Amino acid sequence: MGKALNVVKYDAGLQKLASSFHSGNNYLDKFLKEFVSLDDGFGKTYVFLSEGEQSIIGYYNLGLGYIEQYDNSITKKIGGAIHINCFALDEHFHGLLQMYTDDGMKINLSDVLLDECLAKIEYIRKEYVGFSFVTLSSTKEGYSLYCRNGFEDLEEDMGFSAKDSDIECIPMYLPLDL
């Protein structure tokens, strides 16, 4: 899709840039400014930096989990998952068109960042730890982004652990071995 994005692992030296990041979602903005975004026990945060590294264009945080399936009164783990804990783009870049596919589908900057995120996930899967799914809890605003990139609503007999902030979100998953 053209030039590689300037996405780097987030560290305390970059945290000063978080004060000017505004995605339009208070939880996602606050997450980037707090220590939890640097906490290896929660996940790893990666930031998409502007040219010159003066601002954060977007970010994502990845952690581990699993999907369970409910069969009668039995709960079974059906596969490990990497969980996209957070995914956000600064509101100045929302809807920013990058290109059209051959069949006329719009590719926005959010799609490009998600593609980079999924490439990082595939690299982690290949090199470090196995898992079968990518999971996330989508806001209503992000739902169409995930749908057009292959994510599906979690089936009614499936589940994964959710945080309090996920209550109004839509649990989604992407199977990796189809």
pLDDT tens profile 70-85:
988 888 999 999 999 9
Number of neighbouring beta carbons within 10 Å of residue 24: 13
Instruction: State what percent of residues in the chain have pLDDT above 90.
Output: 75
| Eight-state DSSP code of residue 91 | G
pLDDT of residue 104: 83
Q: How far apart are CA 39 and CA 127, in angstroms?
A: 22
Which portions of the chain are predicted below pLDDT 70? 1-3, 178
pLDDT of residue 43: 96
For the purposes of burial, counting CB atoms within 10 Å of the CB of 51, is it exposed (0-12), middle (13-18) or buried (19 or more)?
Answer: exposed
pLDDT of residue 105: 84
pLDDT of residue 178: 60
Query: Can you read off the two tokens belonging to residue 176?
Result: 């990796």
pLDDT of residue 167: 76
pLDDT of residue 1: 47
Contact (CB, 8 A) for 125 and 134: no
